[in-house]
Amino acid sequence: MLSHTEENHLKAIFHLSKDQNEGVSTNSIAQNLKTKAPSVTDMLKKLCDKNLITYKKYQGALLTDDGRKTALNIIRKHRLWEVFLVEKLEFNWSEVHEVAEQLEHIKSKKLINELDRFLGYPTKDPHGDPIPNPAGFIKHTTKVLLSDLKKGEKGTFVGVKDSSSAFLKFLDKRKISLGSLIEILHIEDFDDSLHVSIGNTNLTISMKSANNIYLKKQ
């Protein structure tokens, strides 16, 4: 039985190892979990003893198959709870993360499988991220960043890279929601800002924002 802290470390290692091949660094985990490096070092030793990660001093951490499966199970729970909060309890997508961080640690297989059924076996969470199945299998879909599109290209908004509350509220204010069709009308030379059409309206999006918006290309 893993503690909340152990589970959080596994999750952090999972997320941080997506964008890279080497071991996940102690500092990056500490930053991700808002804790300090020595705390992480201690935890890495413990998780290594439990065969959930491989870890050699100064070389960062990598999930074992077991650790990966455990991490995906926590992520599955997190994302299913997020769906529940939005679909059934009328939370906004910018409000769910904090509560799901708590709910993901509840231990009950039956609970999560029944929740899955109750929600109609959703495949995506409210931010467009895929929900792993009970075996830890995750279905990836090809998607590109809005910032990578060229003038005239278009796509459907399918996810966010940064799902911070601030960015999600920013999107709400501009009526940009999952499923919106976005087309690049013009790219400003000076600051790379994008003039885009979304539905019937046109608006300007900064490079920084465009770098957080995933599209399914059309």
CB 92 within 8 A of CB 78: no
- Quick one: 25 or 64, whose CB is closer to DNA? 25
Shortest spacing between CB 131 and DNA, in angstroms: 26
Shortest spacing between CB 6 and DNA, in angstroms: 5
Segment 40 to 79, residues that bind DNA, using CB under 7 A: 40-46, 55, 57-60
Binds 36, which of DNA, its own copies, none (CB < 5 to 8 A, cut-off by type)?
Answer: DNA
Distance between CA atoms of residues 181 and 179, nearest Å: 6
Distance between CA atoms of residues 166 and 4, nearest Å: 26
Distance between CA atoms of residues 74 and 100, nearest Å: 10
Per CB under 7 A, 39 contacts DNA: yes
Per CB under 7 A, 38 contacts DNA: yes
Using CB atoms within 10 Å of the CB of residue 41, give its burial: 0 to 12 exposed, 13 to 18 middle, 19+ buried.
Answer: middle
- Quick one: 104 or 129, whose CB is closer to its own copies? 104
What are the start-end ranges of the H helices in the chain? 4-17, 26-33, 37-49, 65-87, 96-103, 109-118, 165-173, 207-210
Within 8 A by CB and 6+ apart from 168, the residues are 92, 93, 94, 127, 160
Per CB under 7 A, 5 contacts DNA: yes
Binds 27, which of its own copies, DNA, none (CB < 5 to 8 A, cut-off by type)?
Answer: DNA
Binds 114, which of its own copies, DNA, none (CB < 5 to 8 A, cut-off by type)?
Answer: its own copies
CB 59 within 8 A of CB 129: no
> What Rg, from alpha-carbon coordinates, does the chain have?
19
Binds 203, which of DNA, its own copies, none (CB < 5 to 8 A, cut-off by type)?
Answer: none
Per CB under 7 A, 190 contacts DNA: no
Shortest spacing between CB 16 and DNA, in angstroms: 11
Shortest spacing between CB 45 and DNA, in angstroms: 7
- Quick one: 73 or 209, whose CB is closer to DNA? 73
Per CB under 7 A, 25 contacts DNA: yes
Residues that bind DNA (CB under 7 A): 3, 5-6, 25-28, 35-46, 55, 57-60
